Structure 1
Amino acid sequence: MRTYPATPVEMIAGLWRHKELIYVSAKREVLGRYRGSLLGLLWSFFNPLFMLAVYTFVFSEVFKARWNAANDSKVEFALVLFAGLLVFNLFAECFNRAPGLVLGNPNYVKKVVFPLEILPFVVLLSALYHAAISLGVWLAAYVLLIGMPHATVFYLPLIVIPFLMFVMGLSWALASLGVFLRDVSQITSVLTSVLLFLSPIFFPVTAIPEGYRHLLYFNPLTGVIEQVRAVLYWGAAPDFQLVTIYWIVGICIAWIGFAWFQKTRKGFADVL
C-alpha cells in the first residue's frame, strides 16, 4: 500500500510542487462562484458592503451599540466591526467547507496521481482572495472617511500568516474527518454560528465582565481579531509576545493537521 510523507518539509514542498495546479484550481474556484451572474466578480465587492451595512444598522441603530462610550461615531463602529468580520469570514469559509472537500470529490480519490492535500489550500486561496477584496474596501472607506491609514497596517502579514497556517491545519484535519464521520459538517456549521457571537466582533473584549474575560481567549479567533483591529484601526503595534505564540501554534497545528490527513488518506477510497 502506498505511503504518503507527513513531514513538515513535505507539507511545504508538496504545495510548492503543485503550485500551478493550485493556482488554476483556485482561479476556477473564484470564477466559478460567480459564473452566470450578471455582475460577476463585482459581487465580491458588494457582498461585504451589504453585510457591513446590515450589521452596522442593526447594532448601531436598533441596539444603539457603540464601540467607545465616549465616541458616538457610527463610522468608528462600522470600521471596527468590519475589521473583525474580515478575520471571521476568512475562517468561516474554510472551516465550513473543509469537511466536504474530499467527500465531495470522490473521483479525485480514485485518481492516484491527484494530490488531495492541495484541496484545503485551494479553498484557503479563494477565501483569501475575498478577504483581500474586503480589506481593500475597508482601506478605501478608511481613507475616504478618516484619512491615511496608520503605518502599523504593514504589521498585518505578521499576524495573518500564522492564522492562515492554523486554518490550514484545521482544514486538513476536518477534510479527513469529514470522510469518516459525516456529522462533522453539521458540527462545524453550529460551531461557526457560536463563534460568530462569542468572538469580539460586535463588542470589545472590555465589554465582558473582568472575571469572565479570560474565557473569551479560549476562542482562537479572539486574539487574532484584537491584533488585526489594533494594527488596522487603532494604529497600535501588535503584541509581539502574543504574535510569537501565534507563529509557534500556527506551525504546529498546520503540521499536525497535515500529518493526520496524510496518515488517514489511504483509507479514503475504502469509505468512498
Structure 2
Amino acid sequence: MLNFSLSPMYLVRSLKKNFQLIKTLTKRDILGRYKGSFMGLLWSFLTPLFMLSVYTFVFGEILKVRWTDGSSGDVPGQFAMLLFAGLIVFNLFADCVNRAPTLILSNVSYVKKIVFPLEIMPIVLILSTLFHTMISFIVWLAVYVILFGVPQSTLLLLPVVITPFILLMLGLVYFLAAFGVFVRDISQVVGLVCTALMFLSPIFFPISSLPDAYQQVVHLNPLTIPIEQIRNVIYFGELPEWELLANYLSISILVSIVGFYFFQKTRKAFADVL
C-alpha cells in the first residue's frame, strides 16, 4: 500500500520539484477553456469587459442604483465598479470550488500513474482560475482609470489582501477534490452553497447598510472579508483592517493544512474507487 506524506512541507517540496509540470498543466488548462473557439484567449478580456459594461449601463443608467454607505456620495458608475469588484472575488471562489469535486474524477489517467504528483492538481486549478481573475482585475482597473483617473495607491496592497483568501480556497479545493471521489453528489451541494453564499455576501450592498444583527451573520460568510477588504484597497483607498485580515489568515492556513491532510490521507484509495 502506498503511503503519502501528510506534512505541508511535503507540498512545498513537491511544488519546487514539479514547477515546470505545474506551469505546463496550468497553461494547458487556461488554453483548454477556449479550445476550438475562433477568438481563443481574447475571450478572457472581452467577457469581463462586456459584463462590466452591462452592469454600468443597467445599474447606473437604467436603474439609477447608488452605493448607499454614505462614504462617497452619489458617484456615477460607482455601483457598477463596486458590484463588479465583488463579483470578481465571488467568481474566483465559485470557479475553484465548483470544479474541485470533479478535479480527480476528470483526471483518472493521472491517478493510475504511481509517479504522478497528484497533489499539484489543486494548485493548477487555483493558478488557472487566478489567471482569469487577474484579467478581470485589469479590465476593472482600465475602466476605473477612464471613469475616475489615477487609481488609489493602496491598490498595491491587493496581493496582501487576496493571499489569505487564496489559501482558504486551496484548503477547500483539496478537501472537495478528495471528497468528490467518494461522494459524487457533492458537486450539486457545492453549487447550491455557492449560490447561497453569493446572495449572503456584500456583493450587491455595503455591509454597513445592514442592521448590526445581520452584519454579524454576513461576517460568517467566508467571502465577506475578502470582498470588503479588496474594495477598500482598490476603490476607496483605505488600508486593510490588519487585525481582521490576520485572523482570517490564521483560519485560512488552518483550513489549507486540514484540506491537504484530508487529501493525502484519502488519496491511496482513489485508484480503488475510480
C-alpha distance 124-62 of structure 1, shift in aligned 2 (>3 A)? same
8 Å CA contact 2:59, 2:80 repeated in 1: no
The aligned amino acid for 2:250 is I
Partner Cα separation in structure 1 for residue 69 and residue 193 of structure 2: 31
8 Å CA contact 2:68, 2:209 repeated in 1: no
Note the 1:26-37 alignment, pairs <5 A.
26-37=26-37
Which 5+ residue runs of structure 2 have no aligned equivalent? none
Note the 1:37-186 alignment, pairs <5 A.
37-60=37-60, 63-68=63-68, 71-186=73-188
How big is the shift at 1:210?
A: 2.1
C-alpha distance 56-207 of structure 1, shift in aligned 2 (>3 A)? farther
Partner Cα separation in structure 2 for residue 210 and residue 242 of structure 1: 17
8 Å CA contact 1:31, 1:41 repeated in 2: yes
User: C-alpha offsets along residues 48-95 of structure 1, whole Å, 9 cap, x if unaligned?
Assistant: 122223344444455543113763333111111111112111111101
Which of the numbers 202, 207, 210 marks the counterpart of 2:209? 207
Partner Cα separation in structure 2 for residue 64 and residue 142 of structure 1: 19
Partner Cα separation in structure 2 for residue 84 and residue 167 of structure 1: 16
8 Å CA contact 1:171, 1:257 repeated in 2: yes
How big is the shift at 1:33?
A: 0.9
User: C-alpha offsets along residues 233-256 of structure 1, whole Å, 9 cap, x if unaligned?
Assistant: 000000010111122112111111
Please, what TM-score do these two structures have when normalized by structure 1? 0.95
Q: Which residue of 1 aligns with 2:17?
A: 17
How big is the shift at 1:97?
A: 0.1
Partner Cα separation in structure 2 for residue 177 and residue 60 of structure 1: 43
Matched, 1:226 2:222: no
Note the 1:243-258 alignment, pairs <5 A.
243-258=245-260
Q: Which residue of 2 aligns with 1:216?
A: 218
Which 5+ residue runs of structure 1 have no aligned equivalent? none
Q: Could you say what the CA RMSD is over the residues aligned between the two structures, in angstroms?
A: 1.5
Please, what TM-score do these two structures have when normalized by structure 2? 0.95
Which of the numbers 253, 269, 272 marks the counterpart of 1:270? 272
How big is the shift at 1:194?
A: 1.1
Q: Which residue of 1 aligns with 2:189?
A: 187
8 Å CA contact 2:56, 2:77 repeated in 1: no
Partner Cα separation in structure 2 for residue 60 and residue 6 of structure 1: 51
The aligned amino acid for 1:149 is P
* Structure 1 stretches of at least 4 aligned residues deviating more than 6 Å after TM superposition: none
C-alpha distance 250-84 of structure 1, shift in aligned 2 (>3 A)? same
8 Å CA contact 2:59, 2:79 repeated in 1: no
User: C-alpha offsets along residues 118-155 of structure 1, whole Å, 9 cap, x if unaligned?
Assistant: 11111111110011111111111111111111111111
8 Å CA contact 1:153, 1:235 repeated in 2: yes
